[in-house]
Structures are given as C-alpha cells and as structure tokens.
C-alpha cells in the first residue's frame, strides 16, 4: 500500500517533467554550455564554424527541422564521426542546446 | 673613478646577461578559449610570457624553427602565427585559409606547410617571411576538395599528408618549391583521421576512422605503394562511440612495438614493427586520444576521450602492463615529455592547469595556471623528424 501510494505521487511528477520540456537547471546549463564549447567544439570548432564536423552556426542549421537535429545529437549519425550523446544529454537538454545554436 | 670602473663593468655585464635567453628548454602552451600562447620554461617550471590574440585556437599545433627561436602556431581559423620566443612577441600573423588542422616544417627549416579543411588542401609558406610558396588543392573529383589531415615532414624536403574525404595519401616533393612534385596514393582506406611518421622518417602510417586498420607507406620503397595493416582488428567487437577523434602524434615506439589508439574500443594496440601485425592489445580506461612513448621507450602514456578524460594511464613497456592510473584533473587534453623524458607536462583544460609529473616516481612535481590549456609543445621538437 505504501509503495503504490509512492508511485501515485511519483508518476505524475515524471509526466509533468517530460511534458513541459523543462529548461535545465542553472548548474546544468553551465555544464552543457561548457560541453558545447569544448566537447562539441572539438569537432565543430570552438566558434562552431566547423572542423571535422560541419558548421553549427544558425545559417547552417536553417531549413533543418528540430526533430532531425535533436535526433542527430541524441543518436549520432552512423557512417560519420558524429557519436550518440544519449548517455550524457537528455532529449530536453538536446532541445535546449539546439535553441542556443539557433539563437546564440 | 678608477675604483668604480670595475664595478660599473660588472653591473653592465649583469644587465646584459639578464637579457640573454636560451630557447632550447622553452615551450609553448596553447590557451584554447582565449586564443593565447604561453611561453614557458621547462627547466624552471615558469611562465615567461603570454602572447595574446592569435585567433581561434580551439584546435592548434606548433612547430619550431631549427634555431629554436621561432614558434609557428597553426590555429583552427586558418591562422598562422610566427612567435619570437626571444622577444616575447608576434613576429608575423596571417590568415591563410578558412579552417585548418595542423602544420609541419620542412627538413631544411625554410618551408612551413599547413593542412586545411576549408578550402581543402595544403599551402606552403616561407618560414622567414610567411609568403605563399606553393598551393596544393586536395582535389579528388569534379569540384570536390578533401579535408587534409596527418601532415608531416619527411626527409628529402618532402611533406606527406592524408585526404580524409578521399581516402588518399599524397606526398609532395618541394626540392624546387616553385614546382612541387606530387605523388598520389589512392584507395588507402576510408576516412584517414590522422597520421604519423617514424622518427627515422621512413614509415608513414595513417589511422582509419571509416574502417578497421591502418594504411602504411614505406618511403624507402614507394613503388610498393600503400599497404593495409591490421585489417581485422576489432572486427567482431562492438564499436563504441568515439567522443573525440584520436591523435597520432610522434611515434610511440618502444623496442619492436608501435603503440596506437584503437578506434571505437577502449584499447591500445601493440603492433609488431617487424611484421606489422597485431602483437597484443591492452585494455585501458576509455577511448585513447594520445598514446605517447616516453623518449626512452620504457613507458607509454595514454589520455582519453570524453567522458573518461580525467585520467591518464601509464603502460609499462617491459611487460605491457598498466602500471598506474593518474587523475590529474578534469579534461586532460595533451601531454608533452621533456627531451630526455624525466618529466611530463599534462594540460588539464577544465581545471585550468598544467601539471608536471616525475615520470620515474609518477609523483606530481608542480602545477602552473593556464586558462583552458589544450596543447603543450616543447622547442626540442625543432630537431625531430615529423614534429
């Protein structure tokens, strides 16, 4: 009984979280920005003008749908050097990062 | 006055002495975010100067003039900066392309070659004036230009490099800089990501990202063409994601063995140099990025791609075992040995530090501050083939 009560409390909280596509916490934002600059930047360039990977500047991303780009971040792109970031970045965080890329 | 003269002479000579600076034990550290270069003294563990505004140094490498006075810094934004290490100043700076990856200095020290991603190709400059000497576009099809990687100098006033998109190795002879002679080796394998040359300048090896194995070119026997080595390594193993492209720099050779990062596996490959076959693999903490031998070849130091980049592991070459795991800090990006290997400097990006270790005791000696350091280059590279 205790367990199911706990579940009832937890489940709505989980749903609320995903449906809102919440913004990462302040600390997490700093971590994500650092990752974008340095880890994404290792291939895409610190200024995101591209390197081994293509440029990620707003102009380069226009016409590419959100779903496609978020999926690229999360799942990587087979056959290229782009790895899946899923173990480290959630769907919502990828969406938030994409927002920054589109409007730096 | 007669008594004062010797004193004055002494004072004068002291002031002259204070201005003298030898450069054989100096080095350059790149601060990637600020686009700065630090001049450091490796004997005294000191920062001597900060050279600012070199452009986008998110990826950067450095070569040195043979007199060890000048450092040439290759930036991501196509920038080429010639730093005067005696005057702590920029001697010359040019932007030669839109996006570059690295460079090399010729056997005679007179030419600087740079490998470019955009526009793809290699450009060659006078090391003195930084004037363009030769332009070699990496064309491999109708209107296609490849990103160029793995550029090294080779004996005979030559440069060798690989075409990432085309899967080719090219060798350029610049004995007559006005008329470069290019020899192309096609079909070397998919996506060569970097390359190295042996310290004697004989073997050029490109690592492949797009498929298993490496491409080997024997510069003493060009007619034999490029040979594929280790075509089967990791064929049946699950390929793990690679969060940072490994680098092949220098030649991690100890005894008969060449040490190289596996791609998509948390392993270091040990290759027998006599047969070019896999001798062994050593399981390590993550995707290796740099696999570097201490100059005497007794140890091999390995750092890793995200998310295992807070560690450094040391392989004891005597029995190919892991002898120690160090945790220098967050995001270890590069390592550089002193010329005879008694110490190693480690760049720790997210902790904003350079950590110096004693390679015998594996104890930390000191730390120096550096803002987001990503590369350490000692002037002793000036006299090494392929660096």
Subunit contact B59:A83, Cβ cutoff 8 A: no
Distance CA A88, CA A96 (A): 14
Q: How confident is the model at residue B4 (pLDDT cuts 50, 70, 90)?
A: low
Q: Calculate the average pLDDT of chain B.
A: 93
Q: Does B266 touch chain A (CB under 8 A)?
A: no
> Region B352-373: what's the mean pLDDT?
97
A78: chain B residues, CB-CB within 8 Å = none
End-to-end, the C-alpha distance of chain B in Å comes to 55
Mutate to test the interface with A, among B79, B163, B243 (most CBs of A within 10 A): B243
pLDDT tens digits for B250-272? 667 777 899 999 999 999 999 99
CATH class of B98-229: mainly beta
CATH node for A27-102 = 1.10.760.10
List the structure tokens of B340: 């005879």
From A46, A49, A84, residue closest to B33, measured CB to CB: A46
End-to-end, the C-alpha distance of chain A in Å comes to 50
Residues 17-56 on A with a CB inside 8 Å of B are: 34, 37-39, 41-43, 45-47, 49-52
Q: What are the residue boundaries of the structural domains of chain B, listed by start?
A: 98-229
List the structure tokens of B253: 């050779």
List the structure tokens of B282: 């050593």
Q: pLDDT at position B58, please?
A: 85
| DSSP category for residue A59 | H
* Contact criterion met (CB below 8 Å) for A81 and B117: no
Q: pLDDT at position B307, please?
A: 94
Cα–Cα nearest to A43, from A77, A86, A87, A92: A77
pLDDT tens digits for B5-62? 555 555 555 444 557 899 999 999 999 989 999 999 999 999 999 999 999 898 899 9
B60: chain A residues, CB-CB within 8 Å = none
A51: chain B residues, CB-CB within 8 Å = 58-59, 76, 99, 101, 117
B349: chain A residues, CB-CB within 8 Å = 38
Distance CA B380, CA B89 (A): 20
Q: pLDDT at position B249, please?
A: 79
Cα–Cα nearest to B256, from B209, B196, B197, B320: B320
Residues 218-257 on B with a CB inside 8 Å of A are: 241-245
The lowest-confidence range among A17-26, A74-83, B52-61 is: A17-26
Residues 134-173 on B with a CB inside 8 Å of A are: 147, 164
């Amino acid at each position: 009984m205790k367990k199911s009560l706990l579940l009832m409390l937890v489940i709505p909280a989980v749903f609320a979280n995903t449906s809102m596509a919440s913004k990462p916490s302040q600390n997490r934002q700093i971590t994500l920005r650092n990752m974008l600059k340095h880890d994404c930047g290792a291939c895409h360039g610190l200024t995101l003008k591209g390197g081994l990977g293509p440029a990620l500047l707003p102009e380069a991303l226009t016409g590419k749908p959100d779903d496609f780009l978020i999926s690229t971040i999360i799942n990587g792109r087979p056959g290229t050097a782009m790895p899946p970031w899923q173990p480290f970045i959630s769907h919502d965080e990828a969406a938030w990062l994409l927002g920054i890329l589109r409007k730096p | 006055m007669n008594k004062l003269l010797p004193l004055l002479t002494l004072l004068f000579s002291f002031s002259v002495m204070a201005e003298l600076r030898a450069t054989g034990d100096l080095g350059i550290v790149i601060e990637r975010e600020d686009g700065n270069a630090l001049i450091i003294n490796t004997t005294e563990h000191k920062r001597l100067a900060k050279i600012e505004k070199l452009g986008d140094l998110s990826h950067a490498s450095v070569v040195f003039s043979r007199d060890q006075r000048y450092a040439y810094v290759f930036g991501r934004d196509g920038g080429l900066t010639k730093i005067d290490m005696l005057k702590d100043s920029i001697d010359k700076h040019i932007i030669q392309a839109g996006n570059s990856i690295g460079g090399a200095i010729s056997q005679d020290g007179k030419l600087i070659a740079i490998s470019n991603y955009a526009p793809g190709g290699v450009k060659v400059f006078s090391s003195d004036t930084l004037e363009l000497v030769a332009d070699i576009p990496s064309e491999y099809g109708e209107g296609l230009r490849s990103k160029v990687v793995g550029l090294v100098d080779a004996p005979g006033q030559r440069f060798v490099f690989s075409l990432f998109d085309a899967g080719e190795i090219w060798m350029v002879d610049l004995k007559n800089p006005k008329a470069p002679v290019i020899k192309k080796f096609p079909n070397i394998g998919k996506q060569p990501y970097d390359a190295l040359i042996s310290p004697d300048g004989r073997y050029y090896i490109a690592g492949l990202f797009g498929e298993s194995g490496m491409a080997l070119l024997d510069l003493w026997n060009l007619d034999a063409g490029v040979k594929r080595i280790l075509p089967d390594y990791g064929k049946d193993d699950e390929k793990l994601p690679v969060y940072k492209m490994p680098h092949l720099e220098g030649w991690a050779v100890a005894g008969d063995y060449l040490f190289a990062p596996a791609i998509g596996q948390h392993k270091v490959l040990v290759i027998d140099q006599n047969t070019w076959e896999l001798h062994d693999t050593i399981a390590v903490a993550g995707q290796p990025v740099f696999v570097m031998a201490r100059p005497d070849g007794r140890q091999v130091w390995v750092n890793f791609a995200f998310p295992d980049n807070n560690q450094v592991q040391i392989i004891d070459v005597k029995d190919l075992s892991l002898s120690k795991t160090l945790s220098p800090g967050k995001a270890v990006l590069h390592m550089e040995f002193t010329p005879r290997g008694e110490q190693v400097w480690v760049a720790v990006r997210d902790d904003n530090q350079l950590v110096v270790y004693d390679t015998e005791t594996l104890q930390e000696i000191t730390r120096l501050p550096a803002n987001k350091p990503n590369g350490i280059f000692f002037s002793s590279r000036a006299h090494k083939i392929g660096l």
